[in-house]
């Protein structure tokens, strides 16, 4: 399969008995005309589709992070600091993914990477933050002051995004390969 892996997975999570997950409902499968679902054509033309997606993405205008108002649609996004691309991500809901990155660090890989790689903070366990009764031993927390610093860092960033109904995982992968953003490297956090 060349294009659409994530969407097929989401389709299965939503529609097959025993795997229902309403979060993974995907609008591409609700289309009446099925124009996006000509599977053979999509697979045959996947390289051209991805090239066009990259070109369209390059032409999209960057907006300030703190002013972003994103749709509930699936898509891909790029985070910039000045002119450097720091991070590329995808999500079934752009607004949901943005909300996750605006929230507490524990739930956001982007926030954890900014904290550790850009700001030099160390991730902590709940016990290290004073929650003596917590059994959560994962190092994925920051102090409240450190979380505020991560938010300030993000507020100085800009964002490009694009709604992508089909092939967002593959477009994200191609953009990461093309731009090699610092915070998308696979090591740590």
Q: Quick check: 95 and 173 in contact, CB under 8 A?
A: no
Assigned token pair, 164: 């992508």
Assigned token pair, 61: 């205008």
Band (pLDDT 50/70/90 cuts) for residue 5 is: low
Q: How far apart are CA 90 and CA 96, in angstroms?
A: 11
Band (pLDDT 50/70/90 cuts) for residue 19 is: very low
pTM for the model stands at 0.77
60 Cβ contact partners less than 8 Å away, ≥ 6 residues apart: 160, 161, 162
Task: Report pLDDT for 165.
Answer: 79
Mean pLDDT, the chain, integer: 81
Q: How far apart are CA 171 and CA 185, in angstroms?
A: 17
- Tens digit of each residue's pLDDT (9 = 90 or more) over 104-137: 888 899 999 999 999 999 999 888 888 877 777 7
Q: How far apart are CA 185 and CA 183, in angstroms?
A: 6
Q: What is the largest CA-CA distance in the chain?
A: 57
Nearest-10 Cα torsion for 178, 150, 6, 188: 70
CATH superfamily of the domain spanning 5-184: GIY-YIG endonuclease (3.40.1440.10)
Q: Go through the chain and tell me how many residues it has.
A: 189
Task: Report pLDDT for 49.
Answer: 75
DSSP state of 116: I
Q: How far apart are CA 149 and CA 39, in angstroms?
A: 46
Distance of CA 136 to the CA centre of its chain: 25
Q: How far apart are CA 15 and CA 159, in angstroms?
A: 33
Which CA distances in Å does 15 have to 6, 7, 25, 90? 14, 12, 8, 22
């Amino acid at each position: 399969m060349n294009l659409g892996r994530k969407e097929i997975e989401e389709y299965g999570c939503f529609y097959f008995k025993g795997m229902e997950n309403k979060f993974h409902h995907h609008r591409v499968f609700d289309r009446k005309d099925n124009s996006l679902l000509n599977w053979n054509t999509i697979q045959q033309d996947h390289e051209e589709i991805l090239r066009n997606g990259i070109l369209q993405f390059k032409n999209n205008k960057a907006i300030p992070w703190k002013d972003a108002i994103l749709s509930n649609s699936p898509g891909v996004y790029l985070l910039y600091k000045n002119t450097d691309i720091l991070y590329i991500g995808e999500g079934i809901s752009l607004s949901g993914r943005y909300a996750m990155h605006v929230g507490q660090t524990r739930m956001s890989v982007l926030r954890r990477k900014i904290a550790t790689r850009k700001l030099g903070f160390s991730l902590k366990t709940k016990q290290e933050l004073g929650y003596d009764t917590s059994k959560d031993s994962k190092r994925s927390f920051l102090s409240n002051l450190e979380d505020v610093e991560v938010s300030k860092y993000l507020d100085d960033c800009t964002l490009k995004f694009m709604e992508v109904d089909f092939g967002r995982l593959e477009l994200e992968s191609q953009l990461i390969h093309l731009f090699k953003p610092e915070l998308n490297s696979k090591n740590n956090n």
